[in-house]
Structure 1
Amino acid sequence: MLLGILFSLVLFFGIVCFTKLIGVKRQLSDMTEALSDIEAGNGNRKILATDNELTAELSFKMNAIVYAYEEQLSQLRAADGSNRQLMTSLSHDVRTPLTTLIGYLDAIHRGVVAPKDQEDYLEIARRKAHDLKDYIDVLFGWFKLNSSEFSLSMEQVELAELTRNILKDWVPIFEEKNLNYEIELPEKPLLARADLDGYARIINNLVQNIINHSQATQIKIEMAKQENEIEIRITDNGIGIEKSDLQHIFERLYKCDKGRSDHGSGLGLAIVRQMIEKMNGHITVRSEPNQYTFFTVFFPLVT
């Protein structure tokens, strides 16, 4: 009788193991089929498994790998589309001022311009050359910012004094352009961690954006401590930004229909936001058309 019981138990476990093996073989077959489907380009295909199956952990890990791979592919496709858009914009934005510049210089070289007009032609050519240089500088700045080799040199700085030193170079420009200005910076030290060149670029880009595009007659720059953050507010009374544009204003290559001159690159504010975020800060914007635009930059306060 004991032998019979043992034989029955062995037979039972044998049947169980055989059934498990058949199940595993089926699961492996399903996994192979799913992987072949994924290899063929169906990134939405997943390997199905329940928690109690022997291959469940393997299936879940493979699904996670496929998901991560598909996410990378999606990002690459988006980057490829953005790069194509960037190259299309570049071909227009670089070719147009370059063609104009060559046209003016050729006209002078061929002698088709009256002597009294040559100075005007040279001045226009000079301005076009500077516009082209500014655009190329912004473009290289963008590529550098998004390259794998880009890094910031973060250090503890006194932000009010640093901002004061940056803005003093803008005062003659404000006065030259008859732009009324108010600069209100605290006398008490406000410490933050920042990259010196990066921070200067943020402030300079925001001020330059106002001068180039806002048609403002007034600009106000303030700094204050707000709980655990330092807040920098830059306000102008220019033409403002339409509500439909506000949500896109920091996107690469985005240009508002209103208030953007022909030489705008669509990269300046995108660079500003990326630079701020790389320094652990953030930026907001509010605007009312024909009344004001209000940029606010926040950086963590070092206590």
Structure 2
Amino acid sequence: MEIIVFLSVVIAVLAMLISIFLVQRVKKQITEMTDALMDVKSGNGNRRILSVANELVAPLAYEINEIVVSYERRLSIVRQTEETNRQLMTSLSHDVRTPLTTLIGYLDAAHKGMVTGKDRDDYIEIARRKAHDLKEYIDILFDWFKLNSNEFALEIQSVEAAELTRNILIDWIPIFEDKQIGYDIDIPEQPVRVKMDMDSYMRIINNLIQNVITHSHADKIKIMLSKKENNMELLLADNGMGIEKEDLKHIFERLYKCDKGRSEKGSGLGLSIVHQLVEKMGGNIAVESVPGEGTEFILFFPLEY
């Protein structure tokens, strides 16, 4: 009996000691968690809480780590957005105010009689072209803001893409001829049905062609629509100056402008808008380029059966 009592006392003491140890261990870990969270609150998003898998507070530690990681990701997105907005404001200051000032200068000169005859007509024509360039830039800018707002919504419907593409390109033919760009357009007569947003598809093609005209210095462009396995494929190729390999990696990034050919003009948003619209419609876009030889953009959209 005495042995049983003695063992009971020993077990009780050991249990108490273990409990005290566990409580102290938990208190220490909670203190470490508090310190870590204060560190995160101060801006150290790389701080993590270490814990062994079999410890009591392990699930809590892992959950807090997940929250911190998620918080850091969101914070990174916010920082990127702030930087993009800052760059956009800088771009607006230069790319809108500067041509607008020049435009007003030409119009004022013509209006005040500072130039007459053919010179006046030339000034008005220059002002007209600059006004169209400015409108194009503002349209792209509004597209960008709309695309990245909560109000943007696609109207996905069944579309006969061959005829739609043909109708879009008809408006570009006079521009190709005016700029002396040879064109080769190959669109099948048979229907090609795809689910897409018609306005977005039009914007994609217009942005890609405008990119060729503005930046590639090409004198030939090829546009071919075809069926490849389960996809509609749209190829848009030019024989322009091409894009360097390093620039090609970033071609669809917002506000990115290549060192050559794109830096002198443009918003740096056109191809980013194209990439986003293609993805939102369930398609893919690829680009290949050889400097000095030309560039190919290839669009893929799933066929509708």
Residue 69 of structure 2 corresponds to: 67
Matched, 1:111 2:113: yes
Contact 1:131 1:263 in 2 (8 A): no
SS of corresponding position for 2:96? helix
**Cα deviation digits, residues 162-208 of structure 1 (max 9, x gap):** 21222222233333333322221223333322111101111121122
Correspondence list, 1:252-291, <5 A:
252-260=254-262, 262-291=264-293
Correspondence list, 1:167-182, <5 A:
167-182=169-184
* Structure 1 vs Structure 2 CA RMSD: 1.9
Distance 1:69 1:183, change over 3 A: same
CA distance in structure 2 between the aligned counterparts of 1:289 and 1:25, rounded to whole angstroms = 64
The alignment's TM-score, normalised by the length of structure 2, stands at 0.92
CA distance in structure 1 between the aligned counterparts of 2:190 and 2:108, rounded to whole angstroms = 57
SS of corresponding position for 1:220? strand
Contact 2:186 2:224 in 1 (8 A): yes
Distance 1:256 1:5, change over 3 A: closer
CA distance in structure 1 between the aligned counterparts of 2:75 and 2:58, rounded to whole angstroms = 25
**Cα deviation digits, residues 220-257 of structure 1 (max 9, x gap):** 11122222222110112222223332222222222234
CA distance in structure 2 between the aligned counterparts of 1:61 and 1:277, rounded to whole angstroms = 32
Q: Unpaired segments of 5 or more residues in structure 2?
A: none
Q: Unpaired segments of 5 or more residues in structure 1?
A: none
The alignment covers a number of residue pairs equal to 303
Residue 151 of structure 2 corresponds to: 149
Contact 2:225 2:235 in 1 (8 A): yes
Code of the residue aligned with 2:88 in structure 1: it is L
SS of corresponding position for 2:254? coil
Residue 17 of structure 1 corresponds to: 19
Residue 239 of structure 1 corresponds to: 241
The alignment's TM-score, normalised by the length of structure 1, stands at 0.92
Question: Matched residues, percent identical?
Answer: 58
Matched, 1:122 2:132: no
CA distance in structure 1 between the aligned counterparts of 2:111 and 2:15, rounded to whole angstroms = 98
SS of corresponding position for 1:106? helix
Residue 7 of structure 1 corresponds to: 9
Residue 191 of structure 1 corresponds to: 193
Code of the residue aligned with 1:14 in structure 2: it is M
Contact 1:222 1:234 in 2 (8 A): yes
CA distance in structure 2 between the aligned counterparts of 1:126 and 1:188, rounded to whole angstroms = 41
Code of the residue aligned with 1:91 in structure 2: it is S
Distance 1:34 1:278, change over 3 A: same
Residue 293 of structure 1 corresponds to: 295
